[in-house]
Amino acid sequence: MAKRTDNFGKFVSQKKNSAIKEEIRQEKKKEKKMRQEAIEKRFAEKRQQKFGNAPQGADDRFGKNSPKPSARPAAAGGNKIVEKKSSPATGGAKASVNKAEKSAFAKASTDKAEPTMPLNKFIAHAGICSRRDAATLVKEGKISVNGTVITEPGFKVSTNDLVKANGKKLTPSRNFVYILLNKPKDYITTTDDPQGRHTVLELIRHATNERVYPIGRLDRNTSGVLLLTNDGELAQKLSHPKHEVKKVYHVVLNKDLTKKDFDKILEGVKLEDGLAQVDALAYTDTKDKTQVGLEIHSGRNRIVRRIFEHLQYDVKGLDRVMYAGLTKKNVQRGKWRLLSEKEIRILKFMNKSYT
């Protein structure tokens, strides 16, 4: 074939493009065939090591010349791949895969495919409490898995496991419910009370058949916005300090809040469990300095009351008017409503402008 020389003195082929493409295809085909043969050889060696002197054709699943499963020979001394029906004379010993093995393999495959989750998350999805409270239950030895008490919150479980809390079976729920309650006074934020006091669950008993619990707590004499749900993951997110969920309170004091104490609160009040800081503070009525509005993100127990009590004020009234962007607008005291889809999305994605 004629050849020409370029400016650099190298020979350049004048083959047609179609011929070059065909050569490339043939080369790729050849390489693919070589790889396949290498793979087949590797599997053949592994089967030889596993089955000893069994004829290669008896378990040559990848070889081109291996017979179909129904036609494989039953060579003496070899491991059979196809299970045969046992006869009274020989029993089931000749079958290489017995029913017990198949059953165990099926169970192992199922268990492997079933997704797992930490035990405290499983409990939260069952609508018992938040993940943080669930971790406490586990550490206290109140949770058992398949009959064994587990004390590690991160222990992995699946929906196939039998999980019990104080002897009662738990079942995770995927039907999540989100309820906003305008809590009145004299109701406690627990699921039950040994002393027989009123609980917030009494107020929402017609809202859902799902077992829900409150996120965070409002003490008995505090009213206002309270969120209840069975979504343990959201409860964990809203309760975790790193998200700094904002709360706004309306506070009524027994006397005027002085300018000096007003400034002290803004600077931070040192309590027995550390410094208490607020994000914003204002008089709700310039003519009545016994009433103030306070914004805070701390979730410490009774933090608002303790700030004012530390400065020698008695809190006559405490109402939470906002929580994580949710307000009690159009919800009368003691009433509830379901959150909208938009509100749920905002909570789950923790939009900074709403928290």
Least confident stretch, 60-64, 126-130, 151-155: 60-64
| CATH 1.10.3470.10 given to domain 117-169 | no
Which of 4-18, 79-93, 173-187 shows the highest mean pLDDT? 173-187
State residue 286's pLDDT score: 84
Distances (CA, A) of 343 to 97, 127, 165, 177: 56, 20, 32, 12
For residues 179-188, average pLDDT: 94
State residue 112's pLDDT score: 46
Q: Both tokens of residue 264?
A: 């002290």
Q: Both tokens of residue 80?
A: 């059979």
Distances (CA, A) of 306 to 25, 127, 199: 81, 31, 24
**CA atoms within 13 A of residue 137's CA, in its CB half-sphere:** 21
Distances (CA, A) of 85 to 57, 58, 70, 110, 233: 22, 18, 14, 26, 52
- Pairwise pLDDT comparison (110 vs 129), residue with the higher score: 129
Phi, psi for 352 (deg, rounded to 5): -60, -30
HEC secondary structure over the chain: CCCEECCCCCEECCCCHHHHHHHHHHHHHHHHHHHHHHHHHHHHHHHHHHHCCCCHHHCCCCCCCCCCHHHCCCCCCCCCCCCCCCECCCECCCCCCCHHHHHHHHHHHHHHHCCCEEHHHHHHHCCCCCHHHHHHHHHCCCEEECCEECCCCCCEECCCCCEEECCEECCCCCCCCEEEEEECCCCECCCCCCCCCCEHHHCCCCCCCCCCEECCCCCCCEEEEEEEECCHHHHHHHHCHHHCCCEEEEEEECCCCCHHHHHHHHHCEEECCEEECCCEEEEEECCEEEEEEEEECCCCCCHHHHHHHHCCCCEEEEEEEEECCEECCCCCCCCEEECCHHHHHHHHHCCHHHC
State residue 350's pLDDT score: 63
| CATH number of 173-243+329-355, picked from 1.20.1260.10, 3.30.70.580, 1.10.1050.10, 3.90.79.10 | 3.30.70.580
Q: 288 in helix, strand or coil?
A: strand
Q: What is the pLDDT of residues 84-98, one digit of tens each?
A: 444 444 444 444 444
CA angle 52, 55, 61 (to 5 degrees): 95
Cβ atoms of residues 279 and 297 within 8 Å: yes
Q: 59 falls in which pLDDT band (50, 70, 90)?
A: very low
CATH 3.10.290.10 residue ranges in the chain?
117-169
State residue 162's pLDDT score: 92
CATH 3.30.70.580 residue ranges in the chain?
173-243+329-355
Residues in the chain: 355
pLDDT at 132 over 70: yes
Q: What is the pLDDT of residues 291-343, one digit of tens each?
A: 999 999 987 888 999 999 999 999 999 999 999 999 999 999 999 999 998 89
CATH number of 246-323: 3.30.2350.10
pLDDT at 69 over 70: no
- Expressed in angstroms, the distance from the first to the final Cα of the chain is 78
Cβ atoms of residues 327 and 246 within 8 Å: no
Q: What is the pLDDT of residues 103-122, one digit of tens each?
A: 444 444 444 456 888 998 88
pLDDT, the chain, mean:
78
H or E element: which one contains 301? none
Q: 42 falls in which pLDDT band (50, 70, 90)?
A: confident
For residues 54-74, average pLDDT: 45
Share of the chain above pLDDT 90, in %: 39
Catalytic residue among 111, 219, 263, 285: 219
CATH 3.30.2350.10 residue ranges in the chain?
246-323
Which of 168-172, 239-243, 309-313, 340-344 shows the highest mean pLDDT? 309-313
Active site annotation includes 261: no
State residue 96's pLDDT score: 45
